[in-house]
Amino acid sequence: MLRVLYGLILRAHPEYFRQRFGEEMQSIFDHAESDRVAIGLLADAVISLTRQWTLRPHFWEQPPLAVAGQAAPLFSSLESSKPRTSALIYGAFLSVVVLNAVSLTMGYAWNHPRFMDIRPGYGPAGRVPDSKLNSRVVPRQTLPAEPALYTDEGRVVLIFTTHAHAAAAASDANSSVATPMATSSRSSDQSAAAPAGLLQSYAGTYISTSSRNERVNVTFIGGRLHLDIVGVFSSPLTPLSNAPVLACGGNCWVRFWANASGTVDQLEIHYAGREIQAFRVQGAVF
């Protein structure tokens, strides 16, 4: 009974008010917990009905919606909405400048790379004291440099070989540095005799691993070896008591290295304070 009476009171409200608040008010009344609350809501509906018809005349009718005219501007402007020709030219010029700046910056960065040598134990000021290090620096094992595959003159070096050297080879080289230097100053009559087959296995063309890419020719003529560093030095080689080591003068000696298969593919030349490492070329040099 109360719900029917409440619905009649809602229908007596202005139409525009019912459209906005009718469903909400009806939902509140339907969720009333007791008849006492429902009676209170009914009394509020009567008061609202009186207030809407006496004090709220703007709720009697729905206000008409303001419809803008066709193609009416949303704001006033004294100039045309089209961009000016000068503005378009300025924008195009600015775009070209920015594009060229970005292209030049990327090209400069590509042609001028910056190498950062990050080494453990070193900072911007140099070597860091061991007391300030969090961990002990482990020395890196130095390996022989691989030969370059091209030269500054545009030549291409084709090398068909494997460089598998034992780890003990480096220690043997360091221990034998003093022996050849002292022995190379002796006269040729104190040199040890070496088999011709062994000496002939040393002959060949070698390419150094330095930036100069020097060519080293070792020839076997008349039972003797001859060393020729093209454009630098040339001298006969005299075998010493240490078989892989040969003397080429008072301040020069050469040591040959063999790979795992027993083929001599590397030599080390000590001449006038320089150390030249070169690898045998088994293909062709262009």
Q: How far apart are CA 220 and CA 265, in angstroms?
A: 16
Q: Is the dihedral of CA 79, 80, 83, 84 positive or negative?
A: negative
> What are the beta bridge partners of residue 228?
217, 234
Number of domains the chain is built from:
2
Please give the Cα distance from 254 to 227 (Å, whole number): 9
- Last residue within a domain, chosen from 19, 42, 59: 59
Instruction: Give the pLDDT of residue 121.
Output: 73
- Of all residues in the chain, the percent with pLDDT exceeding 70 is 66
Q: Tell me whether residue 34 is in a domain.
A: yes
Q: Among the listed ranges 8-12, 69-73, 74-78, 211-215, which one has the minimum average pLDDT value?
A: 69-73
38-91 pLDDT, tens digit each: 888 888 888 888 888 887 666 666 666 655 555 555 666 677 778 889 999 999
Residue 219 is assigned to a structural domain of this protein: yes
Q: Is there a domain that residue 106 lies in?
A: no
Query: Is 95 inside a domain boundary?
Result: no
The three-state DSSP-derived secondary structure of the chain is: CHHHHHHHHHHCCCHHHHHHHHHHHHHHHHCCCCHHHHHHHHHHHHHHHHHHHHCCHHHCCCCCCCCCCCCCCCCCCCCCCCCCHHHHHHHHHHHHHHHHHHHHHHHHHHHCCCCCCCCCCEECCEECCHHHCCCCCCCCCCCCCCCCCECCCCCEECCCCCCCCCCHHHHHHHHCCHHHHHHCCCCHHHCCCCCHHHHHHHCEEEEECCCCCCEEEEEEECCEEEEEECCCEEEEEEECCCCCEEECCCCEEEEEEECCCCCEEEEEEEECCEEEEEEECCCCEC
pLDDT band for position 156 (cuts 50, 70, 90) = low
Is 96 a member of any domain? Answer: no
- Whether residue 104 is predicted with pLDDT greater than 90 in this model: the reply is yes
268 domain residue, yes or no: yes
151 within a domain of the structure (yes/no)? no
Residue where a domain terminates, one of 10, 40, 59: 59
Backbone φ, ψ for residue 268 (5° rounding): -130, 120
Query: Which residue in this structure is represented by tokens 């540095």?
Result: 177
CATH code for position 228: 2.40.128.50
pLDDT of residue 60: 62
- Yes or no: say if 38 and 50 are a contact pair by the CB < 8 Å rule: no
Q: Which domain holds residue 263?
A: 168-280
67 inside domain: no
Would you say how long the chain is, in residues? 286
Higher pLDDT: 191 or 27? It is 27
